[in-house]
């Protein structure tokens, strides 16, 4: 199956529905399979005492509370339904990450083929039970998580009816320093759980997505924005449209380059065998009846004659005709 590329719009629309629709068009035009948003009832997600993360304070200021910020950036359910219908109409799959149980239940009414569990909800037992009851495949993001916490979350999802999970390796810092990306942890996740794995990538560039595909990722999720200079908590850790296009192309090229895993001569390189390889040829003029020796033979291109791998088979035999210098030897 081809790698699924999710273009994470998140809240980079800044609460404007037309911008969110424009982002869906851009994601489609850049070749992404899915455009992803976030669904929440802010008052059910964030207490009035919750502070912003350090990166959020840097990008949106410290005066505004986390709750005030999310209220400003979120869409209500009606807007999400309209957004889902719009995505359907333009030919890209809509996905959203719910942050509370009513949002989980609302997304369940949209008939989505996937539900995304964000990293912050992986220890939220009643939330995970609600997700499992949807009986919908899940993308489980594992930022900030231990193997034990992932194990517990998978158990809850399984016990409550979730039919399938893809485990997404993730580092929940925006942007993630490359030295903290820890991509080979995907291999441990696969070995530990035997489930498909992927990457929710918050590093600045596209390199980690390429490396993740080479390591076996089946899903790549990446934040994008229409303009990185816009205000908002995630803009600076997001790709702009040309970079998103480059990421999709890089993922497609990488999965094509991985091939079958079986070493063989490909159709593209086969014609070059004769050009690049060598044959046994006469080092000088050789007369009929002369014995072939290491002194009167050489190996030279092209490689459409006797292979040099038969060198010792040829040595000691007798020339059955005259050979000019550089002429391919025949037995």
Give the CATH number of the domain where residue 283 resides: 3.90.1210.10
Residues 142 and 189: beta-carbon distance below 8 Å: yes
Q: Among the three residues 236, 258, 280, which one is the final residue of a domain in this structure?
A: 258
**Overall domain count for the chain:** 2
Instruction: Using 50 as the pLDDT threshold, list the residues of the chain that sit under it.
Output: none
pLDDT digits (tens, 9 = 90+) for 274-309: 999 999 999 999 999 999 999 999 999 999 999 999
CA 300 to chain centre: 45
79 and 184 inside one domain: yes
161 and 280 inside one domain: no
Q: Among the three residues 202, 237, 258, which one is the final residue of a domain in this structure?
A: 258
181 and 104 inside one domain: yes
166 three-class SS:
strand
317 and 197 inside one domain: no
We report the CATH number of the domain holding residue 137 as 3.20.20.70
Q: Among the three residues 238, 258, 278, which one is the final residue of a domain in this structure?
A: 258
197 and 228 inside one domain: yes
**Residue-level pLDDT at 1:** 84
Scanning the chain, the segments in alpha helix (DSSP H) are 17-29, 42-45, 54-60, 66-73, 77-90, 101-108, 125-133, 147-159, 185-193, 207-214, 241-258, 273-276, 311-314
- For residue 307, the enclosing domain spans 265-331
**Residue-level pLDDT at 54:** 81
**Residue-level pLDDT at 70:** 81
130 and 278 inside one domain: no
Task: Tally Cβ neighbours within 10 Å of residue 240.
Answer: 15
**Residue-level pLDDT at 133:** 98
145 and 285 inside one domain: no
291 and 203 inside one domain: no
Residues 68 and 45: beta-carbon distance below 8 Å: no
Query: Tokens 């025949």 — which residue?
Result: 330
161 and 205 inside one domain: yes
**Residue-level pLDDT at 66:** 87
Q: How many helices (H) and strands (E) does the chain have?
A: 13, 10
pTM for the structure as a whole: 0.89
**Residue-level pLDDT at 264:** 96
């Amino acid at each position: 199956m081809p790698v699924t590329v999710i273009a994470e719009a998140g809240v980079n629309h800044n609460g404007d529905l037309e911008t969110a629709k424009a982002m869906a068009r851009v994601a489609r035009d850049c070749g992404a399979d899915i455009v992803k948003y976030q669904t929440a009832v802010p008052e059910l997600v964030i207490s009035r005492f919750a502070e912003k993360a350090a990166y959020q304070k840097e990008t949106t200021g410290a005066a505004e509370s986390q709750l005030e910020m999310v209220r400003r950036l979120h869409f209500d359910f009606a807007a999400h339904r309209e957004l889902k219908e719009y995505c359907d109409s333009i030919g890209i799959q809509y996905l959203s990450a719910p942050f509370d149980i009513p949002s989980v239940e609302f997304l369940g009414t949209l008939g989505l083929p996937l539900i995304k569990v964000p990293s912050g909800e992986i220890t939220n037992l009643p939330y995970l039970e609600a997700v499992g009851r949807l009986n919908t495949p899940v993308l489980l993001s594992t930022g900030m998580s231990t193997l034990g916490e992932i194990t517990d979350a998978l158990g809850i999802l399984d016990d409550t009816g979730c039919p399938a999970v893809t485990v997404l390796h993730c580092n929940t810092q925006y942007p993630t320093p490359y030295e903290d990306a820890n991509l080979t942890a995907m291999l441990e996740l696969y070995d530990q759980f035997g489930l498909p794995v992927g990457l929710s990538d918050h590093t600045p560039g596209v390199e980690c997505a390429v490396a993740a595909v080479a390591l076996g990722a089946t899903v790549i999720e990446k934040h994008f924005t229409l303009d990185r200079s816009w205000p908002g908590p995630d803009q600076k850790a997001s790709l702009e449209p040309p970079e998103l296009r480059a990421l999709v192309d890089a993922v497609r090229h990488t999965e094509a380059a991985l091939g079958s895993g079986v070493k063989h001569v490909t159709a593209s390189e086969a014609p070059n065998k004769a050009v690049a390889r060598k044959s046994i040829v006469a080092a000088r003029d050789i007369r009929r009846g002369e014995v072939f020796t290491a002194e009167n033979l050489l190996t030279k291109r092209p490689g459409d004659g006797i292979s040099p791998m038969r060198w010792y088979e040829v040595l000691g035999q007798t020339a059955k005709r005259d050979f000019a210098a550089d002429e391919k030897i025949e037995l």
